[in-house]
Amino acid sequence: MKFLKGVREVPPPFDCVLYAGGENLMVPGRLYVVATPIGNLEDMTLRAIRVLKEADLIAAEDTRQTRKLMSAHHIHTPLTSLHEHNEARKGESLIRRIEAGESVAFVSDAGTPGISDPGYHLIQAAIARQIRVIPIPGPSAVITALSVCGLPMDHFFFCGFLPAKATRRRQMLTALAEVAATMVFYESPGRLSAALQDMAICLGDRPVAICRELTKAFEEITRGTMTDMIRQFSGRTVKGEVTLIVGGGPKLKKKISDEEILERIGTLEKGKKLSRRDRIDRVAEEMGVSRKRVYGLAVKAGDRD
């Protein structure tokens, strides 16, 4: 084993690198997955800039878009394209270059590669060939939108883009109706109004946040109910990137059996510290069932004061 400035390298067959706090040294023969700004070019991290400058090659979803970023941050690394139409073919040549000792950085048009963007096949191929894949974290429209949506963020479900065809879109939304977590969708501006209409039908009138052009000059975040959003966006020409946040469905309650209720009543009755009224109130509250149901069962079971 050899040690290089905080990098502990383990020899084959594992071919992995263990980091003690993050490396500041470009390692040859690695694939770097680099997140880039979703709009504002100032959101580029210092580490991402350094990696793109020091890499032997940058593979980009759209070289025209990436050249703007490189120009803004004075990055002069050679550039090649890698997008959904050539990823299977081009990815193999990139893997061979990495195996030959080059370091390759991969970027998508905006945000974190692989999140509704190309990158999955390249990353999968690198892992299969025991190439170390190093994440360079940064912007993501999903997390950016969640952070300002005003809806619960402790659990969320990322759904990606909804299907373009109405029938398939409604099928997908119907399948998501019982998801209790906040849901995140990407949507094209031209289909936003239709998507909202279908959501109202399949999901009901839930809280919604529509985040448009995040971090850009015309950033807009609109919050309200589904009905509010349909009213505001119906017939309106929408432009730019849209991230749609929708409140989760009602949590499914566990079905409580009569036997469970009676068992709880019996436990409280043995304690002899509560009146029958108080026992009934306690069981109804604890188990989330109606007081009327608990009372009926208590009477039938001969519960006494």
Reading the chain (305 residues) residue by residue, the pLDDT tens digits are 333 333 334 334 334 444 334 556 778 899 999 999 999 999 999 999 999 999 999 999 999 999 999 999 999 999 999 988 888 788 899 999 999 999 999 999 999 999 988 889 999 999 999 999 999 999 999 999 999 999 999 999 999 999 999 999 999 999 999 899 999 999 999 999 999 999 999 999 999 999 999 999 999 999 999 999 999 998 888 999 999 999 998 765 567 888 888 888 888 877 667 888 888 888 888 877 888 988 888 888 776 55
Interatomic CA distance for residues 261 and 55, integer angstroms: 65
- Return the exposure string of 138-162: e unless at least 16 CB atoms fall within 10 Å of the residue's CB, then b: bbbbbebbbeebebeeeebebbeeb
Task: Estimate the crossing angle of helix 276-287 against helix 258-271, to 10 degrees.
Answer: 140
Q: How many CA atoms lie within 13 A of 276 on its CB side?
A: 12
What is the full DSSP assignment across the chain? -EEETTEEEPPTTT--EEESS---SPPSS-EEEE-B-SS-GGG--HHHHHHHHHSSEEEES-HHHHHHHHHHTT----EEE--TTTHHHHHHHHHHHHHTT--EEEE-SSBSTTSSSS-HHHHHHHHHTT--EEEE----HHHHHHHHH-S--SSEEEEEEPPSSHHHHHHHHHHTTT--SEEEEEE-GGGHHHHHHHHHHHH-S-EEEEEESTTSTT-EEEEEEHHHHHHHHTT----S-EEEEEPPPPPPPPPPPHHHHHHHHHHHHHHT-S-HHHHHHHHHHHHT--HHHHHHHHHHTT---
- Nearest one of 164, 126, 141, 108 to 242, comparing CA atoms: 141
Q: What pLDDT does residue 255 have?
A: 76
Token pair, residue 260, equals 């469970």
Q: What is the pLDDT of residue 305?
A: 53
**pLDDT for the residue numbered 66:** 96
Q: Quote the pLDDT of residue 24.
A: 67
Half-sphere exposure of residue 32: CA atoms within 13 angstroms, side-chain side: 28
pLDDT of residue 304: 55
Q: What is the pLDDT of residue 215?
A: 96
Q: What is the pLDDT of residue 303?
A: 60
Domains of the chain are 2-138 (3.40.1010.10), 142-246 (3.30.950.10), 258-300 (no CATH)
Give the whole-angstrom CA distance, residue 269 versus residue 263.
10
